[in-house]
Amino acid sequence: MALKRDLYRALEDVVGKENISEDPVILYSYAWRSGLIATPQLFVPTFEAVTLPRNTEEVQAIVKLCNRFKIQYKASSTGWGPYCDPTGPGVIKLDLRRMDRIIEINEKNMYAVVEPYVIYAQLQGELMKRGLVCNITGAGSNCSALPIAAHQGIGHMSQSASYGERNLLGVEWVAPDGEIIRLGSLGASSQWFCGDGPGPSLRGVIRGNTVPLGGLGVYTRAAQKVYHWPGPATFPIEGVSPDYKPSEIPAGFMVRYLHFPSADIMTQAVRKVGESEIGFILMGFNPAMVCGNKARSNEEDVALFKKYTDEVQGPGFLLIIAGNSPDDFEYKKEALQQIMQEFNGKSLKDVEDPENAGGFIWRFTRVTGSLRETCRATGCFGGEVGGTDVFGLMRTYISRASKVKQSYIDKGLLHADGTDPFVQSIEHGHQGHGELLIRYKPSNPESAMAAREIFMVANRTAVEGKFGVPAHVWSDEIHDMFGPHTSNYTRWLRKIKKAFDPNAASESSHYISAKE
Ligand SMILES: Cc1cc2nc3c(=O)[nH]c(=O)nc-3n(C[C@H](O)[C@H](O)[C@H](O)COP(=O)(O)OP(=O)(O)OC[C@H]3O[C@@H](n4cnc5c(N)ncnc54)[C@H](O)[C@@H]3O)c2cc1C
């Protein structure tokens, strides 16, 4: 369906001729997805037009035009996630890549304000120069540094630097009908330091467990809390990706992959590491993910996986320690030593080898290995993403789905990368989050269906076992599966959608619709 000419011309007037297109070549380039669990086709529906707004006023003008002409829109920051796609016709894209400025780094009050196309790699580099660091979504530092773009925003540094919803401060929001709303302290002053006030506190409206995935207007700027960085202002890097590493391991840094006799014992060790606050990064990676971080090819990955699984005695986690001073570093190493003794922990040799350790520290801190950690071999991301709760509970939940994964590995439908789930600790153990990754073959419908079946089993497990709402709750269908078991939160979510988006202009197929 071609856009009405008067709408197209009005959009052109907003962004300029060179920043809008309805050329099929451009539209199809936005529609390519290399295999998805829910929709394993390679092309998704195309947008009617793509626009590249430069600032908040242009975003607002586009949103108002969409409301007036009764057409939908959808924004994206880097366009990394499949939830950036429309699921049917009649949608205009707002590609925010021209909004790429770091607005402010406030060293004294420890926050940073960015536009949507600033990526974490940029922000982290600027912060490190100032002795600061931020959490980075586990999806990688190539993703938007806007703390309300990433799906959940949990990442490698969440042990010491929390994540998305908890770090979010002031936000500038073009609401679904085009009104500009400034949240938190920004609503009462020009200051970004607080997400809840003075000024309107709508944090629970604009995001909850996950962000609305494009279904509730457009966020044009946002502030996030940043943290102390104990490392150097710059990392002198040598080599070529993924084989690059700092020329020397920064003083006060140490990386280990620690493995334990059983999952229960490992969970106790994670708790102790949290209590003693020694972890800069604590990721419950399984050996497959550690191999993925390092391996340069599938062949190397398979060989490393065998080597690592032969060596580990049981479940483990990746730990990076960063000392704030030589004494602090000594204290942290000593505390770790005691924890290792108490819980019979052992360290994987390949990771602590000084030849490899610098590279691991760099790739995990810079968050450059995510794609390999999650998509090695098949190029696809598949798995179940649990919710966020107590570490032990999340581990129990996500472990249940691993049994069905094993049955598909046995049938040859999934790649055998082990079934131990990946569980991570957040805020020194205050919270936990678990995921079960699956290496499936998108070109094989049976394999794609196996991945989907694990996803559905995990959803049923969450309901029956009362494990809370997982993060993969996208669409009316999945929300309606959880709503009746969780105080009918869906009624409130739909009321919010209806109140803020009376014309249903903000395309919300990955969020929720306002249907009764
Ligand atoms: C391999 C892989 C690993 C991942 N690992 C993690 C992980 O460890 N932790 C985690 O939290 N997530 C993870 N994810 C999901 C991930 O968070 C998102 O895919 C990623 O953050 C999206 O990049 P982005 O932040 O640039 O947002 P985009 O991909 O551009 O957008 C994400 C969603 O938010 C909406 N959106 C984006 N920007 C705006 C805006 N300015 N205004 C309104 N709506 C907007 C989009 O419509 C879309 O629905 C992973 C994804 C992949 C593919």
Residue-wise DSSP of 331-378: HHHHHHHHHHHHTT-EE-HHHHSHHHHHHHHHHHHHT--HHHHHHTTT
Residue ID of nearest Cα to ligand 1 atom 21: 150
Split at pLDDT 50, 70, 90, the class of 38 is very low
pLDDT of residue 316: 97
pLDDT of residue 260: 98
pLDDT of residue 101: 98
The amino acid present at 47, given as its one-letter code, is F
DSSP 166: H
How confident is the model over 318-369, as pLDDT tens digits? Answer: 999 999 999 999 999 999 999 999 999 999 999 999 999 999 999 999 999 9
d(CA 156, CA 164): 12
CA distances in angstroms from 373 to 187, 237, 251, 382, listed in the order given:
40, 21, 27, 12
Pocket of ligand 1 contains residue 152 by CB under 6 Å: yes
Residue ID of nearest Cα to ligand 1 atom 4: 139
What average pLDDT does the segment 275-300 reach? Answer: 94
Please report the atom of ligand 1 found closest to the CA of residue 146. Answer: 25
Q: Is the pTM of this model over 0.85?
A: yes
Pocket of ligand 1 contains residue 358 by CB under 6 Å: no
Range of lowest pLDDT (44-48, 400-404, 456-460): 400-404
What average pLDDT does the segment 52-59 reach? Answer: 98
pLDDT of residue 41: 57
CA of 235 to the centre of ligand 1 (A): 27
d(CA 486, CA 19): 44
CA of 177 to the centre of ligand 1 (A): 23
Cβ-based neighbour number of residue 500 at 10 Å:
21
Structure tokens, 298: 């599938």
CA of 431 to the centre of ligand 1 (A): 21
How confident is the model over 108-128, as pLDDT tens digits? Answer: 999 999 999 999 999 999 999
Contact present, 352 and 308 (Cβ < 8 Å): no
Q: Nearest-CA neighbor of 382 among 412, 429, 415?
A: 415
How confident is the model over 79-102, as pLDDT tens digits? Answer: 988 889 999 999 999 999 999 999
Q: Nearest-CA neighbor of 170 among 216, 114, 222?
A: 222
Residue ID of nearest Cα to ligand 1 atom 14: 139
Pocket of ligand 1 contains residue 375 by CB under 6 Å: yes
